[in-house]
């Protein structure tokens, strides 16, 4: 089983790429932070990321989704990983919790994800949504923090440059479709 992480700054187009990959038959595992935010906002909580438990809730959902993903396909593509949650904690100025530390230790020791991480570059803008309330300049800061987090844990970043959606999907597909080495 090969598990790839697709990541990048908020608003870079990851979701669009993942939808295309799913239509091509790849197994895609959705982003946990967005789900945690959406669930809390549906209950009337405007800014769940301000809650002290937010990071650990994201980590727990990421772990459940990774462990619960069926192991029937040869390739899975994850919308973010606990390393992204590490970057998020730093971006939010939060301490790295023991739950996050333990999960990163688990995924690195068990080599859960491929060492090559598909890093989707920004599109030159960032549209805000109810779950994504950062502007373009803030997204560039977040992008740098993501890069630093992944590199600090020994991952290799494969750049998926800004451009046409079809070209970006083709770039991702060319990496994840390679036969096992």
Print burial letters for 60-91: b (CB count within 10 Å at least 16), e (below 16): bbbbebbeebeeeeebbbbbbbbbbbbbbbbb
Handedness of CA 99, 104, 105, 110 (dihedral sign): positive
Dump pLDDT digits (tens) for 5-36.
999 988 888 999 999 999 999 999 999 998 99
User: Which two three-digit tokens encode residue 158?
Assistant: 């494969």
Most confident of 30-34, 35-39, 109-113: 109-113
pLDDT of residue 99: 97
Q: Given pLDDT bands bounded at 50, 70 and 90, which one contains residue 70?
A: confident
Range of lowest pLDDT (31-35, 57-61, 144-148, 172-176): 31-35
* CB-based contact 6:14 (threshold 8 Å): yes
Q: Given pLDDT bands bounded at 50, 70 and 90, which one contains residue 177?
A: confident
The whole-chain average pLDDT of the chain stands at: 90
Q: For the chain, count helices (H), then strands (E).
A: 7, 5
Instruction: Answer with the residue of higher pLDDT: 83 or 126.
Output: 83
Dump pLDDT digits (tens) for 116-162.
999 999 876 656 655 556 777 888 888 999 999 999 999 999 999 99
Q: What is the pTM of this model?
A: 0.91
Distance CA 118, CA 89 (A): 21
Distance CA 63, CA 30 (A): 12
Average pLDDT over residues 83-94: 94
Q: What Cα–Cα distance (Å) separates residue 84 from each residue in 11, 22, 72?
A: 14, 21, 25
How long, in residues, is the chain? 181
| pLDDT above 70 as % of the chain | 91
Give the angle 96-91-101 at the CA atoms, nearest 5°: 20
Question: In sequence order, what DSSP letters do the residues of 57-116 get, joined into one string?
Answer: HHHHHHHHHHHHS-TTSSEEEEE--HHHHHHHHHHHT----HHHHHHHHHHHHTT-S-SE
User: Which two three-digit tokens encode residue 147?
Assistant: 């890069």
Average pLDDT over residues 26-49: 92
Q: Given pLDDT bands bounded at 50, 70 and 90, which one contains residue 62?
A: very high
Q: What Cα–Cα distance (Å) separates residue 4 from each residue in 7, 8, 98?
A: 10, 13, 24
pLDDT of residue 181: 43
């Amino acid at each position: 089983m090969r598990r790839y992480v697709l990541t990048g700054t908020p608003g870079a187009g990851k979701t669009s790429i993942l939808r295309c990959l799913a239509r091509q038959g790849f197994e895609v595992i959705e982003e946990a932070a967005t789900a945690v935010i959406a669930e809390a906002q549906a209950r009337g909580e405007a800014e769940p990321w301000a809650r002290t438990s937010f990071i650990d809730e994201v980590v727990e959902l990421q772990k459940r989704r990774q462990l619960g993903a069926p192991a029937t396909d040869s390739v899975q593509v994850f919308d973010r990983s606990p390393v992204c949650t590490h970057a998020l904690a730093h971006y939010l100025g939060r301490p790295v919790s023991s739950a996050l530390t333990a999960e990163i230790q688990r995924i690195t020791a068990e080599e859960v994800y491929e060492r090559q991480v598909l890093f989707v570059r920004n599109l030159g803008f960032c549209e805000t949504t109810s779950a994504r309330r950062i502007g373009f300049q803030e997204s560039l800061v977040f992008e740098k923090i993501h890069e630093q987090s992944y590199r600090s844990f020994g991952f290799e970043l494969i750049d998926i440059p800004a451009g046409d959606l079809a070209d970006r999907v083709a770039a991702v597909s060319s990496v994840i479709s390679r036969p096992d080495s």
